[in-house]
Chains A and B, each alone.
Chain A
């Protein structure tokens, strides 16, 4: 009997994988549900003896089974999109059944944890330090330094908190790890617990990911005896974007409003319930099991450029022909990612802009497509890598309205604690509307003789633009966290590169 492999990742399911799997079962085939290879334009992708067919529909079932289907892409592992990657975090993608412990162990699972337990806390942290691993959530803070701080703190209880509140549009790598390789994340958390002396771990998972919540819960249950005495618990978020910020995430876990906390004190010293806490992103923690295997740290350190070491799971999204998950060493350029790998836009129109790093990332003009993928190089170009989501826009995009949306989004999602973010975002929306309208007239009140200190005329379009720049400056330096602080990136970059889109 033929064995068919189809992903049960949320994306494949949203594209009809469940119906397809049922049709294959009905046709007499054995169906195995695996993780996704990450070639999203081919989902649902059907795998028969290593060969792929996609995107498949139920009409293709018989043709695929009798070998006459025209949707074949050859051997999946040899496909250029896969073969050109360097997959460490996503080594199992497409190859294993996500919540199957046997599959996990057969592909090297738990080797990192076993070795970590032999090494002991100090040496675990040395290994992570040697690998050069930096936080994958966006800030790029060296993971080992954070761990060392928590390890050095004295407390009766410490926590490992996994930030799985992947709210950025254009990012889905966390989701793919949790749905495709959940044990790797659990193993990474257990290793972190071993390193810092924590016995409890929480995964704060956004409620917009129902599949990931179900898979993680199943995986936690199945692996409880392996990671014990370390205990992992999944907690669902409640639709607040700002809870992806680590301190508001901690407040939310404690059952409070997801408001940002002022730092210091650092969460590493006073985190969850006031106890020393490691807060790391899903990708950071799931990179750890590989690093802790024999020789893993030095391999990781040998990849990448300058201070950006190892691999980054890059997410190709938006209006792109070949969207999906592309894990590769740092240093790759946007030109390669968007054109060579991504195949340009889905619509076939020219690329107008690329947003890197989610809603708070800068819009990058095609003229800048040669900057290497590297934390420092992006910072120097007034942009950020963030969580490495890349959203492509074609020439039909109106960058003025995208800038307005950035402000609107910030206003909708602001936690309200600091003024630049709470008020500034709303003023930003109004300002962009006024720029589009060509400036601002004096209002009735301002024209009254009592208001003699007012300027004698309204503001021109240029003066409004100047005001928007000032507002962005205030938000950037005056906000408590990255929501208000980084919203100026998409706004200012859009204004800089596409000023005509702002003038109505």
Chain B
């Protein structure tokens, strides 16, 4: 299926819903790894919005990316609870292990605040991380 066909399929999947923009953007992000200009244009056309309006929404939320990044992503929580359990001391080593191969991103809270430091890879969560376990997680990402 062509990219265009897939896009219009995603858009029509959500037709008839109230406030369909965010669900559409989630599906597009999931499918293509980003919500780029072309996707914004197609969505805007289908929902009778301007591209500026759609772009305003896309750029507001951390989950939507303008460009796809092929690297695997490890999200590390660096909010208060994980800080209190020592996540900051793990960051510089983690960056070394990640190098250019793995993208490390910061997330504010995965809701496992009593067993931090925590990280998320895809939909899998990891808790009670220390230097070696975090390094292994990044290596296997």
Residues of A within 8 A of B (CB): 10-11, 13-15, 40-41, 43, 166-172, 175, 207-211, 235-236, 238-241, 252-259, 273, 315-320, 323-324, 346, 355, 358-359, 389, 391-394, 397, 402, 405, 409, 412-413, 415
Cα A166 to Cα B127 in complex, Å, equals 18
Say whether A318 contacts B115, CB under 8 Å.
no
Is B12 interfacial (CB 8 A cutoff)?
no
Residues on A with beta carbons closer than 8 Å to the beta carbon of B111? 10-11, 166, 171-172, 175, 208-209
**Which chain B residues have a beta carbon within 8 Å of chain A's beta carbons?**
18-23, 25-26, 47, 56-57, 60-64, 77, 79-85, 107-116, 118, 120, 123, 125-128
Query: A318 touching B62 by the CB < 8 A rule?
Result: no
Contacts of A317 in B (CB 8 A): 81, 113-114
Q: Which residues of chain A are within 8 angstroms of B20 by Cβ–Cβ distance?
A: 255
A11 touching B80, Cβ below 8 Å: no
20 A-B interface contacts by CB (under 8 A): A10-B125, A15-B128, A41-B114, A43-B115, A167-B109, A169-B113, A171-B113, A172-B111, A172-B113, A207-B26, A235-B23, A255-B22, A255-B57, A256-B21, A318-B81, A323-B113, A359-B80, A389-B113, A391-B113, A409-B108
Complex CA–CA separation, A255 to B19 (angstroms): 5
Kindly provide the distance from the CB of B44 to the nearest chain A CB, expressed in whole angstroms.
12
Asked whether, in the complex, the Cβ of B115 is within 8 Å of the Cβ of A391, the reply is no
From B57, B63, B118, B126, A239 is in contact (CB under 8 Å) with B63
Residues of A within 8 A of B18 (CB): 254, 273
Cα distance A41–B112 in the bound complex, in angstroms: 11
> In the complex, what distance in Å separates the CA atom of A305 from the CA atom of B111?
29
CA distance A393 to B107 in the complex (A): 20
Tell me whether A208 and B110 are in contact (CB under 8 A). yes
Instruction: Give the residue name and chain of the A residue nearest to B120 (CB).
Output: A208
- For B60, give its contact among A236, A257, A273, A392 (CB under 8 Å): A257
- Determine whether the beta carbon of B109 is less than 8 Å from that of A169: yes
A402, B83: Cβ atoms under 8 Å?
A: yes
Tell me the minimal C-beta distance from A337 to chain B in angstroms. 13
Alpha-carbon gap, A235 to B115, bound state (A): 27
B61 neighbours in A (Cβ, 8 Å):
238-240, 258
Residue contact A397 to B84, C-beta cutoff 8 Å: yes
Given A14-B118, A315-B113, A318-B84, 17 new contacts (CB under 8 A): A14-B112, A41-B115, A169-B80, A171-B111, A172-B114, A208-B107, A208-B110, A211-B125, A238-B63, A256-B57, A259-B60, A273-B18, A317-B81, A318-B116, A394-B84, A397-B83, A409-B108
**B134 CB → nearest A CB, Å:** 13
Contact of A273 among B19, B21, B83, B85 (CB under 8 A): B19
Chain B residues within 8 Å of A167, by CB = 108-109
Q: A238-B26, A255-B20, A402-B83 are in contact. Are A10 and B112 (CB under 8 A)?
A: yes
Residues of A within 8 A of B84 (CB): 318-319, 391-394, 397
Q: Decide if B79 touches A359 in the complex (CB within 8 Å).
A: yes
> A211: which B residues are within 8 A, CB to CB?
123, 125
Would B21 and A14 count as touching, CB distance under 8 A? Answer: no
A235 lies within 8 A of B22 (CB): yes
Which residue on B lies nearest to A213, using beta carbons?
Answer: B123
Alpha-carbon separation in the docked complex, A169 to B85 (Å): 12
A211 CA / B125 CA spacing, docked (Å) = 9
Contact, CB under 8 Å: B112 / A11: yes
The 3 residue pairs across chains A and B that have the minimum distance between CB atoms: A323-B114, A255-B21, A169-B79
A314 to B26, CA, bound (A): 32
- A170, B113: Cβ atoms closer than 8 Å: yes
Cβ–Cβ contact B107 & A15, under 8 A: no
Contact with B80, one of A166, A239, A273, A402 (Cβ below 8 angstroms): A402
For A11, list chain B residues within 8 Å (CB). Answer: 111-112, 114-115, 125, 127
Nearest B-chain residue to A258, judged by Cβ = B60
B57 smallest CB distance to A (angstroms): 6
Q: Which of B57, B111, B120 has the most A CB atoms < 10 Å from its CB?
A: B111
- Docked Cα-Cα span, A397 to B77, in Å, equals 17
User: B113's contact among A236, A258, A318, A397, by CB below 8 Å, is which?
Assistant: A318
Closest chain-B Cβ to A433's Cβ sits at a distance in Å of 17
Q: Is the CB of B81 within 8 A of A170?
A: yes
Q: Is A318 a contact partner of B85 (Cβ separation < 8 A)?
A: yes
- A168 vs B107: C-alpha distance when bound (angstroms): 12
Kindly report which residue of chain B lies nearest to residue A396, judged by CB atoms: B86
Residues of A within 8 A of B77 (CB): 169
Contact yes or no, B19 A316, CB < 8 A? no
Query: Which A residues lie within 8 Å of B62 (CB)?
Result: 238-240
Closest to B56 in A: A257
- How many Å lie between the Cα of A258 and that of B125 in the bound state? 26
B58 to chain A, nearest CB (A): 9
**Cβ A207 vs Cβ B118 within 8 A:** no
* Residues of chain A lying within 8 A (CB to CB) of residue B123: 210-211
Question: In the complex, A236→B47 CA distance in Å?
Answer: 19
Is A355 touching B115 in the complex (CB atoms < 8 A)? Answer: no
Nearest neighbor of B60 in chain A, beta-carbon distance:
A257
- Complex-state Cα separation, A238 to B28, whole angstroms: 13
- Cβ of B116: which chain A residues have Cβ within 8 Å of it? 318
Q: With A240-B60, A253-B19, A359-B80 known to touch, is A413 a contact of B108 (CB < 8 Å)?
A: yes
| Beta-carbon contact of B114 and A168 below 8 Å | no
Closest B residue, CB atoms, query A490: B80
CA distance in complex: A210, B19 (Å): 21
- Which residue of chain B lies nearest to A240 when distances are taken between CB atoms in the complex? B61
Taking a contact as CB atoms under 8 Å apart, the answer to whether B85 and A319 are in contact is: yes
CA A209 – CA B77 in complex, angstroms? 13
Distance of A171 Cα from B26 Cα, bound (Å): 25
